[in-house]
Amino acid sequence: MRAANSNGEETEKAIREAAVKVIAKHGFQAASLREIAKEVGIRAPSLYNYIKSKEKLLYDLLKVPVSEMISEYEMKTRDVTDPVARLQIFVQVHLDFHLNHRLEVFIGNMELRSLSSAHYRTITALREEYATLLNKIIDDGVKAGVFHAPHSRVITLVMLGMLSGVCNWYQPGGAMSADEMMKLHTDLAFRMLAAKLPAEAAKPARRRAA
């Protein structure tokens, strides 16, 4: 629990973290602002100093991660034209989030329906923008002769499903480390495109000690 005298930025972060925990546990409709406030360590009415409504809070929880993944990918590929390198970066950005923010992913999958119509359209458009980044990587790789994908849109959706699904079963401290999971999924992504994984990326990571 975070102290009530935390500064504004810390309190906003604490509210987001508490909202993720409470919504993931109870579902959006059953989640109460009172419980979120209690988790943060402030009174329920004080929440309105930081949020406009519970629905807007959910909207921000769904919007920020996708926006940040898009921004991170674009920053890391600003001067990168090689589709092979861009695919490796995309997988890394995607898995960095999905391995470390599993509750946020769960909420994003389950609570999209709870958004207002306008917010729903914004989030789905943002997700389509994100998917288009991967689709373009694949199309560029096909044009360059390094990828094989007769139906790039289908491959895009299948690959996103594989990469996102890891958060449903991955357990930190399990048989494979996050780094090993990254290498495995990068290899699988390249196999989907009948492409050869660069030698350096293909090197197996040292296994976690038992």
**What is the pLDDT averaged over residues 25-48?**
92
Tokens 């139906």 belong to: 151
208 within some domain: no
Band (205; pLDDT cuts 50, 70, 90): very low
206 within some domain: no
Return the CATH number at 175: 1.10.357.10
Residue 110 has pLDDT above 70, yes or no: yes
Residue pLDDT, tens place only, 117-134? 999 999 999 999 999 999
Residues 6+ apart with CB under 8 A from 85: 77
* CA dihedral for 205, 155, 86, 68, sign (positive or negative): negative
The pLDDT value given to residue 203: 53
Buried b (16+ CB within 10 A) or exposed e, 48-78: eeebeebeebbbbbbbebbeebbebbeebbe
The pLDDT value given to residue 206: 43
Band (198; pLDDT cuts 50, 70, 90): confident
Higher per-residue pLDDT: 90 or 3: 90
The pLDDT value given to residue 58: 96
- Cα 185 to Cα 189: distance, rounded to the nearest angstrom: 6
User: In terms of domains, do 75 and 47 share one?
Assistant: no
User: In terms of domains, do 7 and 106 share one?
Assistant: no
Number of domains present in the structure of the chain: 2
**What is the pLDDT averaged over residues 22-48?**
93
Q: Which 3-state string (H, E, C) describes 140-159?
A: HHHHHCCCCCCCHHHHHHHH
**Averaged confidence pLDDT in the chain:** 89
The pLDDT value given to residue 176: 79
Alpha-helical segments (H) within the chain = 8-26, 33-40, 54-76, 83-100, 102-110, 117-144, 152-165, 178-192, 199-202
Band (209; pLDDT cuts 50, 70, 90): very low
**What is the pLDDT averaged over residues 50-58?**
94
- At CA 92, angle to CA 90 and CA 96, rounded to 5? 120
Q: Which of 29-33, 97-101, 138-142, 168-172 has the lowest mean pLDDT?
A: 168-172
The pLDDT value given to residue 208: 40
Query: CA separation (Å) from 206 to 110, 156, 183, 194, 199?
Result: 36, 30, 11, 26, 16
**What is the pLDDT averaged over residues 171-175?**
77
96 within some domain: yes
The pLDDT value given to residue 204: 45
The pLDDT value given to residue 100: 86
Q: Are 91 and 154 in contact (CB under 8 A)?
A: no
Give the amino acid at 30: A
Give the amino acid at 39: E
The pLDDT value given to residue 4: 43
Band (170; pLDDT cuts 50, 70, 90): confident
User: In terms of domains, do 190 and 169 share one?
Assistant: yes
The boundaries of the domain holding residue 21 are 1-51
The torsion angle over the Cα atoms of residues 143, 136, 69 and 113, rounded to 10 degrees, is -150
User: In terms of domains, do 107 and 165 share one?
Assistant: yes
